[in-house]
Amino acid sequence: MMAETSMTDWKAIAVAKGFAPEDRVILPLEKLEAQFILLREQIAMETEPVTHHVLPLPDGSR
């Protein structure tokens, strides 16, 4: 079943930090999160493990 949000309630943290719910910090991030949650469901567990999570190209091409 698809998770509807992240484990971290970042919006609550943002509001606690003083950002208004409708401001330019929260609104775009909400849209991005909604898009990202759909993508997250596409992660195939059998792709793990991989090396270099944070570099775009595999070692073979370096």
The contact set with another protein (CB under 8 A) reads 6-8, 10, 13-14, 19, 24-25, 28-29, 32-33, 35-36, 38-40, 42-44, 47-48, 50, 53-58, 61-62
CB of 20 to another protein, least distance (A): 12
Closest among 1, 29, 2, 26 to 14, alpha carbons compared: 26
Cβ–Cβ < 8 Å for 20, 26: yes
CB of 41 to another protein, least distance (A): 10
Give the span between the Cα atoms of 54 and 58, in whole angstroms.
10
CB of 40 to another protein, least distance (A): 5
Amino acid present at 35: Q
